[in-house]
Structure 1
Amino acid sequence: MIIKHFTDNDLYKYSVMLAIQRLYPWAYVRYEFINRGKNEFPEGFADRLKEEVASMANLKMTKEEKQFITRKCYYFDPVFIDFLEGYQYDPSEVKITQQGGELKVDIEGYWYRTVLWEVPLMAIISELYFQMTGAIPREVEEKAVTKALRLKDMKADFSDFGTRRRFSFDVHNVVINTFKENGDEYFKGTSNVYLAMRYNTIPIGTMPHEWFMFHGAVYGYRAATVKALEAWVDVYQGSLGISLTDTYTSDIFYESFNLKQAKLFDGVRWDSGNPLEYTDKTIQFYKQNRIDPLSKTIVYSDSLDLDRVGEIKKYVNGRIHDAYGIGTFFTNDVGVKPLNMVIKLVQVKMNKGLKFHYAVKLSDISGKNTGNPGEIELCKKVLGLVD
């Protein structure tokens, strides 16, 4: 059993789960596994994956996990925490098939339930792949020490975002332990709630792309950013205030990000495109709205390594608070090629009895666009992103 703990999942899945339950309890969705790297999966992989998914039904939140979430996640109400205590994964929501080396995984069900599958399912796929291909991790602790010390020398605030594409839970565990021992005040925490509990650090995370994607599909792409942000504020009242900007491109986001929201949200997260251009664009936006950039944060999180962090930090040069959420480079830098994969929301509806609408994501680079190609083109036309 690869996933052994209920909270071996990322915080943002729980935070969006609460928002869904509060505002859209009848919403019904489909997710799809996207194998961007075109990896060939070994024979029998789907059967092993089905066994792992079936075992998820046995996971239950422990008293220790509940106490940790109650203590650290002050923005979760007691009703929601009690709900998590009673939650059980339903394997019938996940359909897995394999033809040759091609793996297909689909998730369907009420959004408030199915939202938890993405991260642990990807972690299982990654770890199982390396198990079945006989890969052996190398220099895990040594590399983690080097990274922690280098980031500390740069005075770079950093967090672990590496659950989804990690080599294994054991590697992830060693990495967080090493960061806790060597990162000092610059190691800010991890997106993984269980490991945050185990090492008494901060669970990190806010909202995912799917939050914006749902609002775009249901309310229209021009209204998506404002609707998504206002809905988030309705639920969290200013807590969990780092917003993604690139679901429908950051240019469109900043056209919609109004003064109230800009003042209320603590900052934004860069997740695609050119980080240096993004830095200037974000600082300019805050200055134009008479907001001190030093009172805000940019969390940089796309494909980072030490050189990239150094380049960005030098360019930022103290003009805004910069922080770094690093994923695969932390948890799967062990001598293998990590899987290039995602699980994305692809269709949504406000009620199970209604028709599905496509959900798409544009990003700040076309290579990360996801969703139905025709709907992507329609979204671009609606937003004026094509001639």
Structure 2
Amino acid sequence: MSSHDTLGAPAEDVEIPFSILDTDLYKFTMQYAVLQHMPDAHVVIRFTNRSPEMLFSRTTFNWAQERVNRLSTLRLRSSERSAFANACPYFPDSYLDYLSRISLDPEHQVKMQFHPKSENGSGEISIQIEGPWRDCILYEVPIMSILSEGYFKFDDTDWNMDDQREQARRKALDLLSPPGGVTPLVFSEFGTRRRRSFHAQDIVMRGLMDGYEEWQKGGGKGGALAGTSNVYFALKYGLKPAGTIAHEWIMAIGALYGYKGSNGRAMDMWEQVYAAHATPPPLTMLTDTFTARAFFVDFTSNPERAMRWGTLRQDSGNPRTFVSLARDAWKEVESRAGSKREDGRIAVGKRIIFSDGLDVDKAIELQKLCDELDMGASFGIGTFLTNDFRKASNPSQISKPLNMVIKLSQIDGKDCVKLSDDKGKYTGNLDEVKRVQRELNLPHDHEEKQRG
């Protein structure tokens, strides 16, 4: 593909990987922050298949290996640069220059192995990524999307694209026109990592745009298709790139600097990178890296800082409990910061973004709850949009998506962990998990089955 046609290329003609922008925005915002604070940090990152019954063929492995090796060719093209800079004005020219010169080295940094497990030759794939964090941070999203596309290209072919655009249009209309007086939803597409294929995601984006435009033409107000986490599709369809921080930023800071106060430290270090810019990215904090309980201790400890972070992201646990905790925390920090409203309402601009395994019904139920509590809400919806398929042979049956994660395992020789608000679930070495829980005065409760 020439350097002039990436944003206008027909999706059905695209072979991944083809653009460095075909990834989630937070990979770039975090990469720039890593370059400022930890440019020499060395990381180990590992892949986990949470659906071990869904095995890969050697054909898929070989195809994926070849595609992963092609990641070495990706860098920011001159034809993409101006659109990227306009959409994300907080990135300086020096960072855009870095992306224009970047040269990933997957043949040395990404170790992929195939492990046969069945009589027909199918098996598991193990992946370990190791190298400078400043570059290895970019591997997660494209590798996951490559694995998913390969699996559904070679191993599970009992599906088709029929009605995908119409299905996405209906979902958008359902979210924008909820029943019973519920506020129309503000939502973004978050499905790049676990999409069925690049082409499928493009069709879904078209369907979402169809529904949004139809709703607007009908006089709809209040809701929105607010954007997509995928920078390429945001630029292609004139949407806002969405997202700022992932778990790995907070996991790394906890491992390097200690876990007490790690959420606050992660926010402070982020602001040191972006706050001085005239148009910084929205300050959106992920709350469950070391549990919401630990997060809110840090959050309420500095009311002035808390007031600047206008959005909290709920990604695990009981969302109803979280909404109440967030509402109480914001009221506390407003009071302590001297900005408490006399009518008792939460300050304008404070909201929760929900992103934990959402579908239309769950999202509408959470919007209704937030309406009742006078809390702002938005929604990041992923797999339900980009990998919602039925079996071609029996449309009454779901064609299951892969369930996989790629998570930070070590930084500069220190183990990284992620706790969760899902009871008993964690990522990382169990002994380190227990040590972190003791340090943060959290209850000990574990399951052998890990979750990313």
Answer whether TM exceeds 0.5 for this pair. Answer: yes
In 2, are the aligned partners of 1:360 and 1:375 still within 8 Å (CA)? yes
The answer to whether residue 398 in structure 2 is matched with residue 372 in structure 1 is no
Q: Determine helix, strand or coil for the equivalent of 2:111.
A: strand
Structural mapping, 1:158-237, within 5 Å: 158-184=187-213, 186-237=224-275
Q: How far apart, in 1, do the equivalents of 2:424 and 2:251 lie?
A: 17
Q: How far apart, in 2, do the equivalents of 1:34 and 1:272 lie?
A: 18
Cα displacement (A) at 1:70: 0.8
Aligned twin of 1:298:
352
The answer to whether residue 159 in structure 2 is matched with residue 136 in structure 1 is yes
Q: How far apart, in 2, do the equivalents of 1:59 and 1:215 lie?
A: 28
Cα displacement (A) at 1:65: 1.6
Aligned twin of 2:3:
none
Q: How far apart, in 2, do the equivalents of 1:367 and 1:342 lie?
A: 18
Aligned twin of 1:254:
296
Gaps of 5+ in 2: 1-14, 117-122, 179-183, 214-222, 335-339, 341-345, 391-398, 445-452
The answer to whether residue 114 in structure 2 is matched with residue 98 in structure 1 is yes
Task: Look up the equivalent residue of 2:210 and give its one-letter code.
Answer: E
Cα displacement (A) at 1:345: 0.1
Moved more, 117-126 or 174-183: 174-183
Aligned twin of 2:141:
119
Counterpart of 1:109 (choices 131, 138, 141) is 131
Determine which structure has the larger helix proportion and give its number: 1
Aligned twin of 1:266:
310
In 2, are the aligned partners of 1:215 and 1:224 still within 8 Å (CA)? yes
Q: Deviation digits for residues 201-252 of structure 1, max 9, x if unmatched?
A: 1000101100110011111111311211110010010633010010000011
Aligned twin of 2:320:
276
Cα displacement (A) at 1:74: 1.1
Cα displacement (A) at 1:59: 2.3
Structural mapping, 1:35-54, within 5 Å: 35-38=49-52, 39-54=54-69
Cα displacement (A) at 1:82: 1.3
Aligned twin of 1:345:
408
Q: How far apart, in 2, do the equivalents of 1:236 and 1:205 lie?
A: 14
Aligned twin of 2:284:
242
Aligned twin of 1:352:
none
Cα displacement (A) at 1:367: 5.5
Equivalent pairs: percent with the same residue? Answer: 37
In 2, are the aligned partners of 1:56 and 1:89 still within 8 Å (CA)? yes
Query: Is the alpha carbon distance of 1:239 and 1:145 closer, same or farther for their aligned partners in structure 2, counting shifts above 3 Å?
Result: closer
Q: How far apart, in 1, do the equivalents of 2:47 and 2:425 lie?
A: 14
Q: How far apart, in 2, do the equivalents of 1:288 and 1:140 lie?
A: 45
Q: Deviation digits for residues 279-308 of structure 1, max 9, x if unmatched?
A: 111011111222534431110001000110
Q: Deviation digits for residues 79-99 of structure 1, max 9, x if unmatched?
A: 101111111221121000011
In 2, are the aligned partners of 1:294 and 1:320 still within 8 Å (CA)? no
Q: How far apart, in 1, do the equivalents of 2:241 and 2:58 lie?
A: 37
Aligned twin of 1:331:
386
Q: Determine helix, strand or coil for the equivalent of 1:158.
A: strand
Cα displacement (A) at 1:16: 0.1
Aligned twin of 1:353:
none
Cα displacement (A) at 1:63: 2.3
Aligned twin of 2:171:
147
TM-score (normalised: structure 2): 0.82
Cα displacement (A) at 1:277: 1.0
In 2, are the aligned partners of 1:28 and 1:109 still within 8 Å (CA)? yes
Task: Look up the equivalent residue of 1:159 and give its one-letter code.
Answer: S
Query: Is the alpha carbon distance of 1:127 and 1:135 closer, same or farther for their aligned partners in structure 2, counting shifts above 3 Å?
Result: farther
Q: Determine helix, strand or coil for the equivalent of 2:131.
A: strand
Query: Is the alpha carbon distance of 1:166 and 1:367 closer, same or farther for their aligned partners in structure 2, counting shifts above 3 Å?
Result: farther
Task: Look up the equivalent residue of 1:277 and give its one-letter code.
Answer: T
Q: Deviation digits for residues 143-201 of structure 1, max 9, x if unmatched?
A: 10110110110310010000000000001001112212322461011000000111011
Computing the radius of gyration from Cα coordinates, the structure with the larger value is 2
TM-score (normalised: structure 1): 0.95
Gaps of 5+ in 1: 350-355
Q: How far apart, in 1, do the equivalents of 2:89 and 2:295 lie?
A: 28
Aligned twin of 1:14:
28
Task: Look up the equivalent residue of 2:205 and give its one-letter code.
Answer: I
Task: Look up the equivalent residue of 1:50 and give its one-letter code.
Answer: Q
Q: How far apart, in 2, do the equivalents of 1:40 and 1:197 lie?
A: 35
Task: Look up the equivalent residue of 1:94 and give its one-letter code.
Answer: V
Q: CA RMSD in A?
A: 1.4
In 1, are the aligned partners of 2:249 and 2:266 still within 8 Å (CA)? yes
The answer to whether residue 41 in structure 2 is matched with residue 24 in structure 1 is no
The answer to whether residue 95 in structure 2 is matched with residue 80 in structure 1 is yes
Runs of 4+ in 1 over 4 A off after TM superposition: none
